[in-house]
Amino acid sequence: MSYLIDRRLNGKNKSTVNRQRFLRRYKKHIKQAVADAINKRSITDIDSGENITIPDRDVKEPIFSHGTGGDRSTIHPGNKEFVPGDQLPRNGSDSQSGRQASDSGEGLDDFIFQISHSEFLDFMFEDLELPNLIKRDLMGSKSFVYRRAGYTTTGTPNQINIVRTLKTANARRIALGGGSRKKLEKLKAELLELHGQLSPDTEKISVLEEKIAAIAKKLKRIPFIDSFDIKYNLSIKQPLPSSKAVMFCIMDVSGSMDQATKELAKRFFILLYLFLQRNYDHTDVVFIRHHTSAKEVDEEEFFYSRETGGTIVSSALKLMKTIMEQRYPVAEWNIYGAQASDGDNWNDDSSTCTTLLQHNILPQLQYFSYIEITNQDPQNLWHQYQLLAQQFPDVFAIQKIADASDIYPVFRQLFARRQS
């Protein structure tokens, strides 16, 4: 039996094929380690690589061996150390060098390896997508590709198609000199016949030679390549089909949102931001912060500004509606929204939020997710949004987050890939 082993190297003497096979084999362990890392990390290093630990017992390769069949007689040596009832140390304890025994008597070393930044993101965002993503309009696409579209007689020297040019020149020479070549062959045959006679007619031979020379001279005047023969590759610029999506990130920064709560919201949005930047090249992100008033900010101010105040959630939804109308026509854009809050809001304002979402925002959106960050009982905004979730089950989703360990599972629930 022949075995083919791919030993192509991918920098630092690492085999790409072997590494990919290893990652597939221990996918379950790696995904669990990635989820644990996300829950423990700070915002600044959320997307770096990770050390993955796999128990030694899961790394062993399966082997085939001959069993102990048949009749066997074995004489065992004497025993001076143990008596009936003693417990023998299992293999892998501290009696073996290189192993460390635990308090339970097990001494299995763990296998640790490093996954890269890109591999970490691959496992973190596996099976996730923007729900209901569709292609609305190709107008305004910034991505183009040049495609071959035949040949042309004008162009730049670097676009000359040599093969096509030589074929055209050869066809022209055949077309222009075809009749003359046939006549030349005929005259040469007559001249050969005259030379074969016993008493050739020298005058007739002289006339034939003059005619042959004239035709040959005429054929030589046909140029090998004419300017008309030169052909250039023709390329046309075509837009690449692409769908445009925009994600509105709305965060409550009111006084009821303490620093720990804001930190959880920041983690959720940074996870969302990394996900969008990785999966969609043509996705805009709009950051909106709100307390009693709302304003659109950049990424730095959205995550790190210390501005605070009261709570009027509808101010952010009104600003979102205005931005949608001014910059993101529904006919051209797939619009998504994500909102993070502790649920605290003026009682009269919660009904206003419901009306805005129900009549002006959700009918225009592909998906809207709301996370409430609190350890307390749900407040009025949550109850209002529950009604919307029942009315728009495919468009509107709500989830609660109590601590950092809930962020990644909730994120996967909100953006899990839908079955088509």
Residue for token pair 């305004």: 140
> In this predicted structure, what is the pLDDT of residue 232?
92
Average of per-residue pLDDT across 156-182 = 89
- CATH class of this structure's domain 157-235: mainly alpha
At 320 the pLDDT is 95
pLDDT at residue 302, rounded to an integer:
82
Residue 339: pLDDT over 70: yes
Round the average pLDDT of the chain to a whole number and report it: 77
* Token digits of residue 278: 């990785």
Q: What is the pLDDT of residue 106?
A: 47
Where would I find the H helices in 26-133? Answer: 27-40, 117-124
pLDDT over 90 (residue 217): no
Task: Give me the phi and psi of 387, to 5 degrees please.
Answer: -65, -40
Query: What's the pLDDT score for residue 90?
Result: 66
Assign 176 a pLDDT band (cuts: 50, 70, 90). confident
What pLDDT does residue 50 have?
Answer: 65
Handedness of CA 123, 128, 134, 137 (dihedral sign): negative
- Distance separating alpha carbons of residues 138 and 144, to the nearest angstrom: 11
Vertex 104 angle, CA 98 and 110, to 5°: 40
Task: Tell me what pLDDT residue 133 has.
Answer: 59
Residue 373 belongs to what H/E stretch?
A: strand 367-373
Predicted TM-score (pTM) above 0.85: no
Find the farthest-apart pair of alpha carbons in the chain and give their distance in angstroms, rounded: 133
The pair of three-digit structure tokens given for residue 154, joined into one six-digit string: 């004008």
Give the domain ranges of the chain.
9-59+110-124, 157-235, 245-414
Task: Please indicate whether residue 241 or residue 118 has the higher confidence score (pLDDT).
Answer: 118
Instruction: Name the residue with higher pLDDT: 291 or 241.
Output: 291
In order, the DSSP letters of 285-316 are EEEEEESSSEEEE-HHHHHH--------THHH
Question: Residue range 47-70: average pLDDT?
Answer: 65
46, 267 contact by CB (below 8 A):
yes
Q: What are phi and psi of 398, to 5 degrees?
A: -130, 145
Answer yes or no: are the C-beta atoms of 318 and 294 closer than 8 Å.
Answer: yes
Could you tell me which residues are beta bridge partners of residue 238? Answer: 145
**Whole-number pLDDT of residue 203:** 80
Q: Examine the pLDDT at 282 and tell me if it is beyond 50.
A: yes
Q: Is the pLDDT of residue 296 over 90?
A: yes
pLDDT of residue 40: 64
In this predicted model, what pLDDT tens digit does every residue of 364-373 receive, in sequence order?
888 898 999 8
User: Which one, of 382, 372, 369, lies nearest residue 416 by Cα?
Assistant: 369
- Compute the distance between CA of residue 75 and CA of residue 66 in angstroms, rounded to an integer: 21
Confidence category of residue 316, pLDDT binned at 50, 70, 90: very high
The token pair that represents 254 in the structure block: 């009111």
**Position 368, amino acid:** F
At residue 237, the pLDDT reads 82
Residue 321's pLDDT is 93
Contact 357, 391 (CB under 8 A): no
Q: Which two tokens stand for residue 371?
A: 């996370």
**What confidence tens digit (pLDDT) does each residue in 228-265 have?**
889 999 988 876 655 678 889 998 888 777 777 877 88
The C-alpha atoms of residue 178 and residue 185 are separated, in whole angstroms, by 11
Q: Which residues pair with 396 in a beta bridge?
A: 368
Give residue 7's pLDDT: 58
Class of domain 245-414: alpha beta
- Spatial separation of the C-alpha atoms in residues 373 and 41, rounded to whole Å: 18
Q: How far, CA to CA in Å, does 149 sit from each of 152, 184, 237?
A: 9, 41, 10
Residue 309: per-residue pLDDT: 74
pLDDT at 102: 45
Q: Please, which pLDDT band fits residue 96 given cuts at 50, 70 and 90?
A: very low
What is residue 98's predicted lDDT score, i.e. its pLDDT?
42
C-alpha dist (Å) from residue 236 to 145, 151, 165, 212: 8, 11, 20, 50
Q: Is 172 exposed, middle or buried (0-12, 13-18, 19+ CB in 10 A)?
A: middle
Residue 11 has pLDDT above 60, yes or no: no
Which of 75-89, 110-124, 386-400 shows the lowest mean pLDDT across its residues? 110-124
Pick from 160-169, 235-244, 380-389 the range whose average pLDDT is largest: 160-169
Residue-level pLDDT at 18: 67
Average pLDDT over residues 68-82: 72
With bands split at pLDDT 50, 70 and 90, how would you rate the model's confidence at 377? confident
Q: Check residue 357 and give its pLDDT.
A: 92
Mean pLDDT, residues 179-193 taken together:
86
Q: Which residue has the higher pLDDT, 160 or 29?
A: 160
- Render 384-404 in DSSP notation, one character per residue: HHHHHHHH-TTTEEEEEE-SG
